[in-house]
Amino acid sequence: MLRAILRDMRAHPGRISMTLVAIVLGVAFVVATWVVSDSAAETVGNANSRTDLAARVSSPRDTELTAAERDRLAALPGVQRAIGVLIGHSSVVQADGKLGDTYWPGEGGTNWDSSARFTLASGRGPESGGEVALEQEAAADAGLTVGSSAKVLNADGEPTTMTVVGIFSYRKAGASEVSPAVAYDPATAAARLGSAFAWIDLYGTDQTQIASAASGALGSGFDVRTGAELAVQRQQQADEEAQLVRNFLLAFAGVALLAGMFVIANTFTMLVAQRTRHFALLRAVGARRRQVRRAVLAEAAVLGLVGATIGVALGIGLGWLTMEIIPTTGEAVVFAVSPMAPLVGYLVGVLVTVVAAYGSARRGAAVAPVAALGTDAALPKRSLVIRTVAGCVAMSAGVVAVVATSGPALTDAKRAVGMAGALTGWLAVILLAPLLASAVLIPLSRLVSRRGSAVSRLAVRNAIRDPRRTAATASALMIGLALVTAFATVGASLTSYITGAIETDVPADTLIVQSAQGFSSISPTLVEKVRAVSGVDSVASPTESFAEFTHQGREYHNTITALEADSLGRALTPVIEAGRADLTQGVLVSSADAKEQGISLGDTLTINGVTAPVVGLYGESEILHGIVVNKTLLPPDPKSYLGAVYVSGASRSALDAAFADRPDIVVLDRAGLLAEYTEPLDLALGIIYALLAAAVIIAVFGVVNTLALSVLERTREIGVFRAVGATRSLVRRSVRRESVVIATYGGLLGVGVGILLGGVMQHVIIGTPIFDLTIPKIVVAGALGGMIVVGVLAALWPARRAARTDILAAIATA
Which residues of the chain form contacts with another protein (CB under 8 A)?
449, 453-454, 457-458, 461-462, 465, 716-717, 720-730, 807-808, 811, 814
Spatial distance between the Cα atoms of 519 and 683, rounded to a whole number of angstroms: 18
Nearest distance in Å: CB 458, another protein: 6
Of 642, 675, 674, 681, the closest CA to residue 505 belongs to: 674
DSSP string, 525-593: HHHHHHHTSTT--EEE--EEEEEEEEETTEEEEEEEEEE-GGGBTTTB---EEEE---TTT-EEEEHHH
Q: Which residues neighbour 608 within 8 Å (Cβ) at sequence distance 6 or greater? A: 547, 548, 549, 634
For another protein, give the closer residue by CB, 79 or 463.
463
User: Which residue number, 72 or 461, has a Cβ lying nearer to another protein?
Assistant: 461
Q: Which is nearer to another protein, 206 or 717 (CB)?
A: 717
Shortest distance in whole angstroms from residue 726 CB to another protein:
6
Least Å from the CB of residue 795 to another protein: 17
Q: What is the separation of C-alpha 275 from the centre of its chain, rounded to a whole number of angstroms?
A: 44
Q: Which is nearer to another protein, 133 or 463 (CB)?
A: 463
Q: How far is the CB of 299 from another protein (least distance, A)?
A: 29
CB of 368 to another protein, least distance (A): 20
659-665-668 Cα angle (round to 5) = 90
CB 227 within 8 A of CB 52: yes
**To the nearest whole angstrom, how small is the minimum distance from the Cβ of residue 427 to another protein?**
31
Coil vs helix vs strand at 87: strand
CB 15 within 8 A of CB 798: no
CB of 737 to another protein, least distance (A): 13
For 662, residues 6+ apart whose C-beta sits below 8 A from its C-beta are 157
Instruction: Return the number of other C-beta atoms located less than 10 Å from residue 282's C-beta.
Output: 22
Q: Which is nearer to another protein, 461 or 800 (CB)?
A: 461
Cβ-based nearer residue to another protein, 11 or 724: 724
CB of 764 to another protein, least distance (A): 44
Of 269, 291, 275, 272, the C-alpha closest to 372 is 275
Tell me whether residue 73 or residue 471 sits nearer to another protein (CB atom): 471
Closer residue to another protein, CB minimum distance, 262 or 721: 721
173 secondary structure, DSSP code: -
Least separation, in Å, of the C-beta of 619 and another protein? 59
The one-letter amino acid at 791? G
Torsion of CA 271, 275, 276, 278, to 10 degrees: -150
Report strand pairing: 610-618 vs 604-607.
Answer: antiparallel
Give min distance, CB of 702 to another protein, in A: 22
- CB closer to another protein, 138 vs 463: 463
Spatial distance between the Cα atoms of 532 and 41, rounded to a whole number of angstroms: 52
Question: Of 429, 424, 495, whose CA–CA distance to 773 is shortest?
Answer: 495
Sheet strand arrangement including 538-540: 538-540, 644-648, 511-515, 665-668
The Cβ of residue 441 has, within 10 Å, a number of other Cβ atoms equal to: 21
Question: In angstroms, what is the minimal distance from the CB of 377 to another protein?
Answer: 15
Q: In this complex, which beta carbon is closest to another protein, that of residue 289 or of residue 468?
A: 468
Give the SS3 label for residue 756: helix
Which is closer to another protein, CB of 294 or CB of 733?
Answer: 733
Beta-bridge partners for 162? 150
Number of Cα atoms under 13 Å in the Cβ half of residue 528:
3
> Cβ distance 121 to 107 under 8 Å?
no
> Least CB distance from residue 359 to another protein, whole Å?
25
The 3-state DSSP class for residue 711 equals helix
Nearest distance from residue 476's CB to another protein, in Å? 23
Q: What is the C-alpha separation between 59 and 76, in angstroms, rounded?
A: 18
Shortest distance (Å) from residue 269 CB to another protein: 19
- Closer CB to another protein, residue 553 or residue 725? 725
Residues 6+ apart with CB under 8 A from 618: 574, 575, 576, 577, 581, 588, 589, 590, 591, 624, 628
Q: Which is nearer to another protein, 719 or 759 (CB)?
A: 719
Quote the DSSP letter at residue 501. H
CB 462 to another protein: min, Å: 6
Is the separation of the CB atoms in 530 and 659 below 8 Å? Answer: no
Q: Tell me which amino acid residue 192 is.
A: R
Q: Which is nearer to another protein, 617 or 802 (CB)?
A: 802
By C-beta, is 151 or 461 nearer to another protein?
A: 461
| Closer residue to another protein in complex, CB, 579/798 | 798
The nearest distance, CB 443 to another protein, in angstroms, is: 16
DSSP 3-state of 27: helix
Amino acid at site 812: A
